[in-house]
Amino acid sequence: MKSRMVELGVGAFMAAALLALFFLAMKVSNLGTLETGDSYRVTARFDNIGSLKVKAPVTIAGVEVGRVTEIAFDQERFQAVVTLAIQSRYDRIPDDSFAKILTAGLLGEQYVGLDPGGSDTYLKEGSEIEITQSALVLEEVIGQFIFGKTKENDAP
């Protein structure tokens, strides 16, 4: 009888652990929070999007206001075109807002951060965010640091 209770306890613990891992996987992959309700789509062009993925959050002041819905490549301008679905309730975002790709957390998840501008007109369906900042690529930063150091050492 006692061993049966231990087996049931271990089984319940294992089920709870698997459930916790499932929810963690959903959170990390951004599948746990799906956008509900109406939204409008805007685009932004970036020279480098790093590892930005579809379904990545779009935030203003740390508050999620939308999601990345599509990533494409413009073969004429050689830029990434990112489509953002902004929830309709956030309909007063100035059209001169600044979009940048930021990194969150230890896993390096990338997302789009918007910094509102000061315009009296607002983003709407089909708008394009003109001012953007590409993702910071760690390899490029390290390369610039090393190149800068060797340049200093070569100076007379």
Across 57-63, average pLDDT: 94
Residue 122 DSSP symbol? B
CA distance 144 to 68: 30
Indicate whether 34 pLDDT > 80.
Answer: no
Indicate whether 39 pLDDT > 60.
Answer: yes
**94 close to 117: Cβ distance less than 8 angstroms:** yes
> Which pLDDT score, from 0 to 100, does residue 23 have?
79
Choose between 148 and 114: higher pLDDT.
114
Indicate whether 21 pLDDT > 90.
Answer: no
Q: How many other C-beta atoms are found inside a 10 Å radius of the C-beta of residue 50?
A: 17
Is-above-0.75 flag for pTM? no
Confidence of residue 111 (pLDDT cuts 50, 70, 90): very high
Residue 29 DSSP symbol? T
Query: Which among 66, 71, 79, 78 has a CA at the least distance from the CA of 113?
Result: 66
CA distance 83 to 131: 14
**58 close to 86: Cβ distance less than 8 angstroms:** yes
